[in-house]
């Protein structure tokens, strides 16, 4: 399967713990996006990378959140000192920005539950 | 955050019926995308639209990019049980470089 993959698929943690999620994009894609989705809502943009450069961060991304894409391939999203409000589905998407198009393909998501 | 206005919020239909849903915005978009999401999974891309007025089909699905660039619709013909799920419209403006999603249309098919 050559689609976007995410690991883990599910994570249950206690409030105050740190968690890290991984995303592997489609191999030839230069852009990688992170979104958060809560129940009954559409995905909301968090941040994105073009190659290894982080180009934009949403106001939703508090100081406790950090994302990296060190070699321009896979990316990690870390949440420090988790809070119950962080419980959500975290989605990763990738795209090949070329010629004015930027169609994003999503991974299966990581569902985070903070107890 | 900003979201598109997607309607209806939910639909209950009989198997075999046609389905229509739409998305509107006060802003212009350069690309409209339609995704389907099953429970516990990520959104799966159904149709991508890149030009105003464009009409594109994918099997029983047809979507159009509105002439004003502020709306789009998705039609599903002859619905089948596996069409059940949440359908999201999404718009992309190149200056923003990020997708804005609607809140979704939940499709239920009655037995």
Whole-angstrom distance, CA of residue B86 vs CA of residue A40: 10
Residue B100 contacts A, CB cutoff 8 Å: yes
Across residues A77-92, what is the average pLDDT?
Answer: 97
Residue B7 contacts A, CB cutoff 8 Å: no
Across residues B7-20, what is the average pLDDT?
Answer: 96
Predicted pLDDT at B106: 96
Chain B residues closer than 8 Å to A109 by CB: 40-42
Distance from CA of A81 to the nearest CA of B (A): 24
Residue B52 contacts A, CB cutoff 8 Å: no
Q: Tell me how long chain A is.
A: 115
pLDDT at B2 over 70: no
Residues with Cβ within 8 Å of A20's Cβ and at least 6 positions away in sequence, in order, are A76, A77, A78, A79
Predicted pLDDT at B111: 79
Across residues B36-43, what is the average pLDDT?
Answer: 92
State which residue of chain A sits closest to B31, comparing Cα positions.
A101
Greatest mean pLDDT among A36-40, B84-88, B94-98:
B84-88
Instruction: Look at the block and give the residue holding tokens 């190149």.
Output: B94
Q: Which of B70, B6, B73 is nearest to A40 (CA)?
A: B6
Predicted pLDDT at A99: 65
Across residues A76-98, what is the average pLDDT?
Answer: 94
pLDDT in tens, A32-57: 999 999 988 999 999 999 999 999 88
Whole-angstrom distance, CA of residue A86 vs CA of residue A79: 9
pLDDT over 90 percentage in chain B = 82
Across residues B68-87, what is the average pLDDT?
Answer: 96
Chain A residues closer than 8 Å to B1 by CB: 44-45, 58, 60
Across residues B94-111, what is the average pLDDT?
Answer: 87
Cβ pair B43:A106 closer than 8 A: yes
Dihedrals phi, psi of B60, to nearest 5 degrees? -85, 0
Is residue B98 within 8 Å of A33, Cβ to Cβ? Answer: yes
> Per-residue confidence at A59, pLDDT binned at 50, 70, 90?
confident
If contacts are CB pairs under 8 Å, which of residues 67-86 in chain B contact chain A?
none
Predicted pLDDT at B33: 94
Strand partners, A37: A89
């Amino acid at each position: 399967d050559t689609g976007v993959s995410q690991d883990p698929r599910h994570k249950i943690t206690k409030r105050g713990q740190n968690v890290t999620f991984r995303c592997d994009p489609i191999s030839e894609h230069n852009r990688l996006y992170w979104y958060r989705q809560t129940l009954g809502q559409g995905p909301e943009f968090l941040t994105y990378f073009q190659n290894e450069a982080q180009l934009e961060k949403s106001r939703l991304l508090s100081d406790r959140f950090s994302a990296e894409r060190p070699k321009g391939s896979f990316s990690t999203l870390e949440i420090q000192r988790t809070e119950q409000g962080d419980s959500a589905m975290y989605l990763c998407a990738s795209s090949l920005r070329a010629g004015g198009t930027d169609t994003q393909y999503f991974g299966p998501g990581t569902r985070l539950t903070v107890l | 955050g900003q979201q598109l206005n997607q309607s209806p919020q939910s639909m209950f239909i009989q198997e075999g019926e046609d389905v229509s849903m739409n998305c509107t915005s006060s802003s212009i978009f350069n690309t409209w995308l339609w995704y389907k999401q099953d429970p516990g999974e990520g959104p799966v891309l159904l149709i991508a639209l890149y030009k105003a007025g464009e009409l594109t089909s994918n099997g029983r699905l047809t979507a159009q990019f509105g002439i004003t660039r502020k709306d789009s619709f998705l039609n599903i013909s002859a619905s089948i049980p596996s069409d059940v799920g949440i359908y999201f419209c999404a718009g992309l403006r190149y200056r923003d470089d990020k997708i804005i999603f609607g809140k979704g249309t939940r499709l239920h098919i009655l037995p």
